Each structure stands twice: as structure tokens, then as C-alpha cells.
Structure 1
């Protein structure tokens, strides 16, 4: 049955359009428009998601089935974690939100909880440092805003 891929593809196209529209809501960077701004990466993600979803609609897998077992439950948990990540990114900040999201996803994929959350913390700190200092793109610190320099 090829309907599963087509239904999922259509849902993902809707998500890509909504996500792409959300990138237009970012505030204009100080100093005018830049070639690369805070909306560039999310906009590229929306385009890739839209194109890959369109491919699923046009060329569905002929032999697929919804994973309504433990795998399906894990997929639902992953979606819930990512939605919560987006909701708490601003108030909790990038480092804490990323630690919780990456840690939970690693744990759900079989890592020991302590190890999973250590990996999440390292990921959050490293990505924060890369974005803030190497790419000069600010990420929210949230409750850790007392660590801001300057």
C-alpha cells in the first residue's frame, strides 16, 4: 500500500511550508539585510524537507507499513521531544534545551541515561560555542543568561 508514504509526504509538505513561513517571522538583523542571517539555515531545512516530502508523494515506497509497534511508540516519543525542545528553547536556553532533547533521544535509542545526558550536555555546549564564537550567530541562553559576556 503506497498510501502511507503519500499521506506522510503530504503532512511533511504542510510542515515544511509552515516551517518556511516561520522563518519569515524572524526579526530583521541589525544593520540591514545580510546574505546569511538567522533565517538562512531554517529556510534551507524547510526547502530540503519540502523537496524530500514531495519525492515521497510522487515516488512512494511500494512495500511499506506503519510501525505500530515499539518503533512507532519511539517515533511518537521523538516527535514529542522535538516539539518540547522547540517550546522550551527560548525560556530554558539552547544549552539546557539541547541537553534535555539530545539526552532523551540518546537514552531512547539505547544509551544509558547518565551517558546519554552527558552526551547531550557536551553537544549543547559545543554547538553553542560554535554558533556564538565561530559563526557569530547568537543562540538564546535562557536561564543561563547570567553567563553572557558583554
Structure 2
């Protein structure tokens, strides 16, 4: 069953290449090419994804089998949630879309809906504050744009 890991690794390499290419579409940072800009974190993710994918191709798990039971369905649901997360990021904003995505994923993993969506809200707010104030990288506010401080 090592073939499954290799297929997944090749698909993830293709995703890493597409994701890395997408980072080249970000505008040039104000301080020039040497400064940290909005493309820095996605490029780091691209490198991690590519290296992890190469590892799967070179050293696959010998006992791997695709989970076609409930686990497989949950994986498909997670992918759908993440696709909707990217689609809703701009219109709803980072905090609300993160609340929905993290909350839904936590709920699917067994948390009660209240705890799951509370976790999503805390995650969205904390990460937003870290990016906006500690890293000085703006994230979209979307529907919450009335909170924007001038």
C-alpha cells in the first residue's frame, strides 16, 4: 500500500507548486524585496508542504491504507470546509471565516457545538490580533470592517 502515500505525495507537490506560484502574485512590499511582506508566511508553508510531500514519496508508510470508512468521509468534509474557508475569507473577513472553519472542524472532531465555535472565535481573534499588531500584517475584516481603527 505504499502506492497510496506516493500518489498523495505527488498530489501535494502539485498543490505546493500551485500555492507557491500564487505567492508570486502578491504585491511588492513597501520596503522592497528584502522586507517581510504578505507572501512570507505562505512561502514558508509552500516549502514545508513540498518537503513533507517529498518525504511521503521517498519513504511511504508500508502499512498505509486509504480510510474509506467514516474517517474518509470526515477527511472529505474537512477539505470542503477549508475550500469554503478560502472562499469566505475576503467577504466575511478573517475572524468570522476562521470562527466558522475552526468551529466546524472542532465540532466534527467531537466537541460540543458551543465549545467548538467558542474555540473558533478565540482562535480567529487571537490570530487576527497577532498578525495585525505583533507582526504588522493586515488580515481582511470583511463584515467586521466597522472595527477598523484609523
Normalising TM by the smaller chain, what interval?
A: over 0.9
Q: By how many angstroms is 1:101 displaced?
A: 0.4
Q: By how many angstroms is 1:27 displaced?
A: 1.2
Give unpaired runs (5+ residues) of structure 1: none
Match of residue 73 from structure 2: 73
- Give per-residue Cα distances to partners, 1:100-128, cap 9 Å, x unaligned: 00000000000001110011001101110
For the aligned residue pairs, the C-alpha RMSD in angstroms reads 0.9
Q: By how many angstroms is 1:29 displaced?
A: 2.1
The alignment's TM-score, normalised by the length of structure 1, stands at: 0.97
In structure 1, what is the Cα distance between the partners aligned to 2:29 and 2:20?
A: 18
Give every structure 1 segment of 4 or more consecutive aligned residues whose post-TM-superposition deviation is greater than 3 Å: none
In structure 2, what is the Cα distance between the partners aligned to 1:134 and 1:55?
A: 33
Match of residue 121 from structure 2: 121
Q: By how many angstroms is 1:31 displaced?
A: 4.0
Partner secondary structure for residue 7 of structure 2: helix
Match of residue 106 from structure 1: 106
Question: Aligned ranges for residues 36-75 of structure 1 at < 5 Å?
Answer: 36-75=36-75
Match of residue 146 from structure 1: 146
Q: By how many angstroms is 1:97 displaced?
A: 0.4
The alignment's TM-score, normalised by the length of structure 2, stands at: 0.97
For the 8 Å contact 2:99–2:117, the answer to whether it is kept is: yes
Match of residue 87 from structure 1: 87
Give unpaired runs (5+ residues) of structure 2: none
- Give per-residue Cα distances to partners, 1:23-64, cap 9 Å, x unaligned: 111111234334311111110101110011011111111111
Count of residue pairs the alignment pairs up: 150
Match of residue 134 from structure 1: 134
